[in-house]
Structure 1
Amino acid sequence: MSVTRRTLPSGTVTWRAKVFFEHRVIAEKSFQRKTDARRWEADQLVKLQRGTWIDPTRGRVSFGTLAEEWQGSRQHLAVRSQETTQFLLDSYVIPLLGRFPIAVISATDVERVLTSMTVRGLATATRRRVLSVIRLVLDYAVRDRRISVNVARSIPLPKGTTKREPHWLRAGQLGKLADAMPPNCRPVVLFLGLAGCRFSEMCALRVDDVVQTPHGFGVRIHRAAPQSKRTSGAIFGPTKTHQTRTVPVPPTLETYVRDRIDSAPSGSYLFPSPTGAIWTNTNFRVRSRCTETTQSVGLAGTTIHDLRHTAASLLIAAGADVKAVQMILGHATATMTMDLYGHLFSEAPWVAMERMPMFPEPGNATGDATAK
């Protein structure tokens, strides 16, 4: 009998339901009524048979402990990615949910985290990232059979502007910006603005990564060196997509690349800082006087990542197809390339606009406007 009658010292009668699996008790609970005890026992048995049973004791772990365990399971990811999620957890989530047992966390508790961020005036993109991290932590708990439902999945992503509109330079503007840069920074700006590599990929390039192809020089992009948020130093690791690609060297930089191959010892950086060390986002901004330089040439607000968008627009204008742009930029899929730059590939909007009727200024008309 798995439901037994118990009499407490006070004289109160309770009914204790026990669930057995492989000759051991895996769950037990007391009820005031025998009917309730039998109903609970039957429900647990059905879940066992369906494979959906969750051990209630496993849901008592705190969110903070689970988040730490989840972080430990992600050691295969890039250090920068781990630092970002740890920062989001420590700054916004753990202070509010860290002590809660995961089994008692409700959708309201998760919404409270997002509300507190809204009150602080944090950006929509940040709130979205925080919700995504909470979802991932609780997904980990579901996979590990500690909880049956991820309540964070029922909460929609915060609405609002999440991304800055892509901004790119025209060829003349890129040349003007490059010419205004210090000598060590000029090749970097041209390479980023024409080859479209990520800044962290450019930093990690060495002279040994230059390859000679039947078409000319190329560089093997197979590692990245993003800047650590914790130490501010460069962290070497795989590329964002964990893939290797060969990117053609822009013709305007062939002489520079050839000189680096001839003069620099093996293992030297292809684009070194003035001290010969690796660039980081911070020291490049300082050395190039990025803010002042962009303002001086009338391009205030231009960012390093805008050079990647510039390369994409110039490649498309030069006639590159979607697959070529995807390969050069290192996007995971051609769909991603189309999502970002698809409007630049299509001629339809411009063809349609050219067919719109002309309406000359009054007094300058040579004839009636033609409406088609």
Structure 2
Amino acid sequence: MKNPNGYGCIRKMSGIRRRPYAFIATVDGRQKYIAAFETVYEAKVFQARYYADHHESFTSYHKKTTFAELYFRWLAFHKSEGQDLSQSTITGYHYAYSHCSALYDKCFQDLQYLDLQAVINRMRKNDLSYSSCKKVKNLLSLMYKYAIKANICRTNYALLLSIGRNHPVYPHHVISRQKINRLWNALDCPGVDTVLILLYTGMRVSEMLNILKTEVNIRQKYIRITHSKTASGIRVIPIHSRILPLVQVRISQPGQYLICDKTGKPYGYARYRATVWHKVMKQIRGEKHTPHDTRHTFTTLLDNAGANENAKRKILGHATGDVTDRVYTHKSLRQLRKCIELLK
């Protein structure tokens, strides 16, 4: 299904440019450059919004909106709702959208349950993970909620989708006390300090890699997490006394971020796992472990030490389901530090 008249087009400009994707629209009978973007996704979001703002026939066009067009309109709407979307969240949406290529040119309101289930079945046939299937189902559900609000359709077929049972590809294992002791005995090995920081803070790896040095308060001994996958993840974590010297050394090294390589360049997750994590795990004979195991280990050790449940959730950045705990329970930095110092 082709785009409507006046929808404009996206062109990739020649040469090396920071914003290579140009949006071109017809204005007064002539094609006119409107704006340029770093990615084609940003250009398509702008294209959908531009058409909605400049054409009175936009409402009537809902009746023949394709899946691809609705995706970019939904994404523009989702961003404008005031959602604080991280780059990893947007990347996750694009990843899920890429698996729906069979639906791109189909009229959204004509889609049926079997069309959607076929996408999931194809993913499972190709041995894609439960997590990947879940991301696609979540995306479809969000798109249907938007389509219902926009009076494009009335039924959310995504709620009926079956994605099978979760069989973890990488089951999580608690890191033993013996291996933790090996880490302390191998501090001269590059990167060992980062694993210990994860073990004694309970941070997600992505959170640790995004910490700026300005977000570390050495005097009051805490780290402020400002980039997280959830709203509850924005929090303050006390610095355990055992890792305080490790954090101080990291602060004194080159670079804007707390965790950098020797040149001061920050790590992405893939580079950290390939160049740091695997080498450290080989050093302590812990090759079966994944970075997320540090978070499971942190939680298990605090449970074993009898830590306060609300304090533990605050440190981990978990939302609480209990209204009393969520609204009326407040934990000071001193109480959180008392909790985290239970780790030995």
TM-score (norm 2): 0.67
Q: Give the 3-state SS of the residue equivalent to 2:221 in structure 1.
A: strand
Q: Is the aligned partner of 1:107 residue 2:113?
A: yes
Structure 1 match to 2:290: 303
Q: Give the 3-state SS of the residue equivalent to 1:74 in structure 2.
A: helix
AA aligned opposite 1:256: L
Structure 2 match to 1:120: 126
Q: Is the aligned partner of 1:315 residue 2:302?
A: yes
Write the distance in 2 (CA, Å) between the matches of 1:106 and 1:61. Answer: 15
Q: Give the 3-state SS of the residue equivalent to 2:242 in structure 1.
A: helix
What does 1:1-372 align with in structure 2 at a 5 Å threshold? Answer: 58-75=62-79, 76-90=84-98, 92-93=99-100, 95-161=101-167, 164-177=170-183, 179-180=185-186, 183-211=189-217, 217-223=221-227, 240-241=230-231, 244-259=234-249, 263=252, 268-288=256-276, 290-333=277-320
Q: Give the 3-state SS of the residue equivalent to 2:227 in structure 1.
A: coil
1:145-199 CA-partner distances (Å, limit 9, x unpaired): 1111122223344334257543211233123145447644122111101111111
C-alpha distance 150-98 of structure 1, shift in aligned 2 (>3 A)? same
User: Is residue 74–residue 82 contact of structure 1 (8 Å, CA) maintained in 2?
Assistant: no
Q: Which moved more, 1:165-174 or 1:55-64?
A: 55-64
Write the distance in 2 (CA, Å) between the matches of 1:171 and 1:70. Answer: 48
Q: CA deviation at 1:273?
A: 2.0
Write the distance in 1 (CA, Å) between the matches of 2:247 and 2:131. Answer: 39
User: Is residue 141–residue 159 contact of structure 2 (8 Å, CA) maintained in 1?
Assistant: yes
Write the distance in 2 (CA, Å) between the matches of 1:87 and 1:332. Answer: 26
Write the distance in 2 (CA, Å) between the matches of 1:167 and 1:333. Answer: 24
Q: Alpha carbon RMSD of aligned pairs, Å? A: 2.7
Q: CA deviation at 1:106?
A: 0.7
Write the distance in 2 (CA, Å) between the matches of 1:125 and 1:271. Answer: 28
C-alpha distance 244-111 of structure 1, shift in aligned 2 (>3 A)? closer
Write the distance in 2 (CA, Å) between the matches of 1:324 and 1:143. Answer: 39
Unaligned runs of 5+ in 2: 1-58, 323-344
Count of equivalent residues:
260
C-alpha distance 264-177 of structure 1, shift in aligned 2 (>3 A)? closer
User: Is residue 63–residue 102 contact of structure 1 (8 Å, CA) maintained in 2?
Assistant: yes
User: Is residue 109–residue 153 contact of structure 2 (8 Å, CA) maintained in 1?
Assistant: yes
TM-score (norm 1): 0.62
Write the distance in 1 (CA, Å) between the matches of 2:240 and 2:298. Answer: 11
User: Is residue 120–residue 163 contact of structure 2 (8 Å, CA) maintained in 1?
Assistant: no
Structure 2 match to 1:49: none
C-alpha distance 199-146 of structure 1, shift in aligned 2 (>3 A)? same
Write the distance in 2 (CA, Å) between the matches of 1:292 and 1:106. Answer: 49
Q: CA deviation at 1:212?
A: 5.7
AA aligned opposite 1:315: L
Structure 1 match to 2:330: none
Q: Which has the larger radius of gyration?
A: 1
Unaligned runs of 5+ in 1: 1-54, 225-238, 336-372
User: Is residue 187–residue 193 contact of structure 2 (8 Å, CA) maintained in 1?
Assistant: no
Write the distance in 2 (CA, Å) between the matches of 1:175 and 1:81. Answer: 36
C-alpha distance 297-249 of structure 1, shift in aligned 2 (>3 A)? same
AA aligned opposite 1:299: G
